[in-house]
């Protein structure tokens, strides 16, 4: 699974049957901070065993010991940041073979700084005008549709106009004097022979002097760098993923002139990048991560990951009806093996997402990927081993065996509805610091609901269910590189529905829907016989 994929298979909170309100998390008992193995528990927060990969929402990766040591050592001194950036840049160039290197406050921040560099050409008079690009020569960034993703907010934050192209011919035609750069998401049709192969694009862009930025956030670092060899100008990595560096650091490698301008657009300098501050500790920690990477035994690392999966597989295969399969990584992104555990949900009376929800909600909490159905009637969960820590395998195996060994009741038939919610509803939504008025238009057929949801800016389809007086409705506000899931869970009382809204990665909200009563003024409607003579 690519780092940039939406987290649709990641079960972190128990979503089966009920929602876990954020308020209940905020109300967890907390005492004074106590450093040590229970540092998080001391403030009422409980760690997660990571069996999904390097997802930022659960901490990315665990920093290498060398990284922790470097950050601790760096914290005790003052240093001039430009001098530090130049020293780090030279050393990164020596280690990686790139012309220059830079540490940013995460991969997305690095993308933002490089965009600023390409838009301004390193001119600070232009830099401080961002995101108002009036009068700028370079204002456009060309992106193939397969490379559009939620992280291109970093480009849009600079104020650049994104030109999305669907073919190589469109890309050729899109390049002009206003093109600041081309952005490519590594692996999204950019491999040799693919639709938007980097080498082909470089052959078009480089003679025109148009920089190419490759987003390789979760990829393994290659030396010499495969993307730079194929013609990229800059390649961006996340520090807190495969490199196991600081979670709030990114690594940029490539052309020195662009990276010097990107550093100028980064904190400690003022301007649009001041809000993406990277500290001396993260800069030295990121350098230490690269130093460690070039000397680490990666073959032995992968062997260790396989032993974790073997432990889990042996334990779950003691249950009749369970099958397992080891999946080897393809490509450079998220290169860790994984184990898929498959079963027939009708035999076990529990499916993959339900197992994932139970693993995620009971201590010790475990994050796994899940699949409700694979098309053959089976269901599954998947364990990624790349961020598992010693001893996790035994805990994970025990928990999964315990869940799948239990007797689970057959799913009950849906209760018939006791209400009819067909019609037009005005929906008042209460976010944490504002309110909004939406509208929903519903048609009910027994337990099933279909209709439309009018949000603040768009209309989208809605589906749902009704059991007794309990309603669940779902819609999705989709954009070319973004999306917000709305899941309403509420109780019907007369002409009102009230409850909570699950918003995926965003903090949830409360809602109250009131049936819309249309006032009808009865009277004849006349169809005009002629066009108007005045207007």
Burial class (CB in 10 A: 0-12, 13-18, 19+), 521: exposed
How does residue 520 score in pLDDT terms, banded at 50, 70 and 90?
confident
Q: Is the pLDDT of residue 75 over 70?
A: yes
Instruction: Look at residues 200, 194, 428, 25 and name the one whose alpha carbon lies nearest to residue 182.
Output: 200
**What whole-number distance in Å separates Cα of residue 162 and Cα of residue 145?**
11
**What whole-number distance in Å separates Cα of residue 30 and Cα of residue 215?**
39
Q: Is the pLDDT of residue 216 over 70?
A: yes
pLDDT per residue over 261-303, tens digit each?
Answer: 999 999 999 999 999 999 999 999 999 999 999 999 999 999 9
Burial class (CB in 10 A: 0-12, 13-18, 19+), 189: middle
The residue written with tokens 């840049």 in the block is 89
pLDDT per residue over 123-151, tens digit each?
Answer: 999 999 999 999 999 999 999 999 999 99
**What whole-number distance in Å separates Cα of residue 236 and Cα of residue 214?**
6
Pair 351, 441 in one domain: no
Q: Is the pLDDT of residue 515 over 80?
A: yes
The predicted pLDDT at position 473 comes to 97
Q: Is the pLDDT of residue 450 over 70?
A: yes
Domain contains 224: yes
How does residue 204 score in pLDDT terms, banded at 50, 70 and 90?
very high
Pair 19, 79 in one domain: no
Average pLDDT of span 202-213: 97
Q: Is the pLDDT of residue 14 over 50?
A: no
**What whole-number distance in Å separates Cα of residue 401 and Cα of residue 318?**
9
Pair 268, 121 in one domain: yes
**What whole-number distance in Å separates Cα of residue 439 and Cα of residue 194?**
44
Average pLDDT of span 49-65: 94
Instruction: Look at residues 146, 191, 147, 181 and name the one whose alpha carbon lies nearest to residue 161.
Output: 181
DSSP string, 220-245: PP-SS-HHHHTT-SEEEEETTTTT--
Pair 291, 329 in one domain: no
Instruction: Look at residues 472, 451, 458 and name the one whose alpha carbon lies nearest to residue 516.
Output: 451
Residue 386 β-bridge partners? none
pLDDT per residue over 307-356, tens digit each?
Answer: 999 999 999 999 999 999 999 988 898 899 999 999 999 999 999 999 99
**What whole-number distance in Å separates Cα of residue 149 and Cα of residue 3?**
11
Q: Is the pLDDT of residue 11 over 90?
A: no
The residue written with tokens 């020596």 in the block is 94
The answer to whether 46 touches 270, Cβ cutoff 8 Å, is no
The predicted pLDDT at position 480 comes to 87
* Other residues' Cβ atoms within 10 Å of the Cβ of residue 146: 18
Instruction: Look at residues 153, 251, 145 and name the one whose alpha carbon lies nearest to residue 190.
Output: 145
Instruction: Look at residues 475, 467, 485 and name the one whose alpha carbon lies nearest to residue 421.
Output: 467
**CA 54 and chain centroid, separation:** 10
The residue written with tokens 């010693």 in the block is 390
The residue written with tokens 């994970």 in the block is 396
Residue 15's CATH number: 3.90.1150.10
Percent of the chain scored above 70 by pLDDT? 95
Q: What are the distances in angstroms from CA 395 to CA 400, 489, 517? A: 9, 33, 56
Pair 40, 87 in one domain: no
Q: What is the mean pLDDT of the chain?
A: 92
Instruction: Look at residues 143, 111, 137 and name the one whose alpha carbon lies nearest to residue 123.
Output: 137
Q: Choose one of 295, 326, 350: the last residue of a domain.
A: 295
The predicted pLDDT at position 331 comes to 87
Lowest mean pLDDT of 8-17, 252-261, 360-369, 373-382, name the range.
8-17
CB burial of 285-301 (b: ≥16 within 10 Å; e: otherwise) equals bbbbbbbbbeeeeeeee
Output 7 or 182, whichever has higher pLDDT. 182
Number of domains within the chain: 3
How does residue 375 score in pLDDT terms, banded at 50, 70 and 90?
confident
How does residue 7 score in pLDDT terms, banded at 50, 70 and 90?
very low
**What whole-number distance in Å separates Cα of residue 187 and Cα of residue 190?**
5
The predicted pLDDT at position 513 comes to 98
Residue 245 β-bridge partners? none
Pair 309, 443 in one domain: no
The predicted pLDDT at position 325 comes to 96
Domain contains 530: no
The predicted pLDDT at position 312 comes to 97
Domain contains 1: no
Pair 290, 303 in one domain: no
pLDDT per residue over 23-48, tens digit each?
Answer: 445 556 778 999 999 999 999 999 99
Q: Sign of dihedral through CA atoms 125, 131, 137, 140?
A: positive
Percent of the chain scored above 90 by pLDDT? 86
Q: What are the distances in angstroms from CA 357 to CA 234, 272, 381? A: 40, 41, 11
The predicted pLDDT at position 28 comes to 63
Pair 374, 272 in one domain: no
Q: Is the pLDDT of residue 13 over 60?
A: no
Q: Is the pLDDT of residue 78 over 90?
A: yes
The predicted pLDDT at position 33 comes to 92
The predicted pLDDT at position 511 comes to 98
Residue 442's CATH number: 2.40.128.120
The answer to whether 144 touches 171, Cβ cutoff 8 Å, is yes
CB proximity list for 530: less than 8 A, separation 6 or greater? none
pLDDT per residue over 217-246, tens digit each?
Answer: 999 999 999 999 999 999 999 999 999 999
Q: Choose one of 375, 405, 435: the last residue of a domain.
A: 405
The answer to whether 469 touches 492, Cβ cutoff 8 Å, is yes
Q: Is the pLDDT of residue 9 over 60?
A: no
How does residue 20 score in pLDDT terms, banded at 50, 70 and 90?
very low
Cis, peptide link before residue 268, omega less than 30° from 0: yes
**What whole-number distance in Å separates Cα of residue 81 and Cα of residue 84?**
5
Q: Choose one of 379, 405, 431: the last residue of a domain.
A: 405
* Other residues' Cβ atoms within 10 Å of the Cβ of residue 380: 23
Q: Is the pLDDT of residue 5 over 70?
A: no
Q: How far is the first Cα of the chain from the last one, in angstroms, to the nearest whole number? A: 60
Q: Is the pLDDT of residue 387 over 50?
A: yes
Pairing of strands 470-478, 459-467: antiparallel
Residue 284's CATH number: 3.40.640.10
Domain contains 397: yes
The predicted pLDDT at position 521 comes to 84
Domain contains 522: no
Domain that holds residue 400: 10-46+298-405
How does residue 2 score in pLDDT terms, banded at 50, 70 and 90?
very low
Which 3-state string (H, E, C) describes 490-509? EEEECCEEEEEEEECCEEEE
The answer to whether 293 touches 221, Cβ cutoff 8 Å, is yes
Pair 132, 33 in one domain: no
The predicted pLDDT at position 1 comes to 38
The reply to whether the predicted model has a pTM over 0.85 is: yes
Instruction: Look at residues 219, 235, 227 and name the one whose alpha carbon lies nearest to residue 329.
Output: 219
Structural element, H or E, at residue 393: helix 392-405
Pair 510, 370 in one domain: no
Domain contains 374: yes
The predicted pLDDT at position 27 comes to 52
**What whole-number distance in Å separates Cα of residue 335 and Cα of residue 241?**
10
Domain contains 30: yes
Pair 152, 250 in one domain: yes
Q: Is the pLDDT of residue 109 over 80?
A: yes
**What whole-number distance in Å separates Cα of residue 433 and Cα of residue 506?**
14
φ, ψ dihedrals at 234, nearest 5°: -140, 140
Pair 262, 375 in one domain: no
Domain contains 529: no
């Amino acid at each position: 699974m690519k780092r940039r994929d939406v987290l649709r298979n990641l079960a972190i909170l128990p979503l089966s049957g009920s929602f876990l309100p954020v308020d209940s998390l905020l109300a967890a008992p907390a005492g004074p901070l106590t450093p040590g193995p229970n540092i998080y528990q001391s403030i009422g927060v409980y760690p997660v065993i990571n069996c999904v990969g390097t997802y930022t929402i659960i901490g990315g990766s665990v920093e290498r010991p060398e990284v922790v040591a470097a950050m601790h050592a760096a914290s005790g001194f003052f240093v001039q940041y430009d001098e530090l950036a130049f020293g780090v840049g030279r050393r990164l160039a020596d280690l990686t073979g790139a012309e220059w290197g830079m540490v940013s406050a995460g991969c997305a921040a690095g993308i933002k700084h490089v965009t600023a560099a390409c838009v301004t050409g390193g001119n600070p008079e232009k830099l401080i005008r961002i995101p108002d690009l009036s009068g700028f020569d370079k204002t456009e960034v060309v992106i193939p549709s397969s490379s559009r993703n939620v992280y291109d907010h970093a480009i849009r934050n600079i104020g650049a106009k994104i030109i999305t192209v669907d073919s190589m011919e469109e890309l050729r035609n899109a390049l002009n004097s206003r093109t600041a750069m081309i952005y490519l998401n590594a692996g999204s049709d950019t491999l040799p022979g693919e639709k938007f192969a980097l080498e082909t694009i470089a052959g078009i862009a480089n003679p025109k002097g148009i920089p190419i930025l490759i987003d390789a956030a979760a990829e393994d670092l290659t030396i010499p760098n495969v993307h730079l060899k194929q013609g990229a100008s800059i390649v961006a990595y996340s520090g807190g993923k495969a490199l196991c560096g600081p979670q709030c650091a990114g690594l940029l490698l490539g052309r020195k002139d662009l990276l010097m301008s990107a550093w100028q657009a980064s904190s400690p300098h003022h301007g649009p990048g001041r809000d993406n501050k990277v500290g001396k500790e993260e800069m030295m920690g990121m350098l230490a991560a690269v130093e460690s990477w070039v000397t680490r035994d990666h073959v032995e690392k992968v062997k260790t990951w396989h032993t974790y999966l073997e432990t889990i597989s042996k334990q779950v295969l003691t249950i009749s009806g369970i099958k397992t399969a080891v999946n080897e990584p393809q490509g450079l992104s998220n290169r860790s093996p994984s184990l898929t555990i498959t079963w027939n949900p009708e035999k076990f009376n529990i499916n993959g997402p339900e197992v994932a929800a139970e693993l995620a909600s009971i201590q010790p909490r475990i994050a796994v990927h899940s699949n409700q159905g694979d098309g053959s009637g089976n269901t599954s969960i998947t364990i990624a081993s790349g961020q598992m820590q010693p001893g996790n395998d035994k805990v994970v195996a025990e928990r999964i065996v315990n869940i799948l060994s239990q007797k689970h009741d057959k799913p009950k038939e849906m209760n018939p509805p006791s209400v009819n919610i067909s019609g037009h509803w005005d929906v008042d939504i209460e976010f944490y610091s504002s309110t909004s008025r939406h509208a929903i238009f519903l048609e009910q057929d027994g337990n099933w609901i279909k209709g439309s949801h009018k949000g603040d800016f768009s209309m989208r389809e809605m589906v749902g269910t009704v059991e007794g007086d309990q309603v669940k409705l779902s819609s999705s506000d989709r954009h070319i590189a973004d999306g917000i899931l709305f899941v309403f869970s509420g109780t019907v009382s007369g002409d009102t529905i009230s409850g909570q809204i699950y918003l995926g990665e965003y903090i949830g909200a409360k809602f109250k829907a009131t049936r819309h009563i249309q006032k009808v003024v009865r009277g004849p409607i006349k169809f005009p016989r002629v066009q108007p003579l005045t207007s």
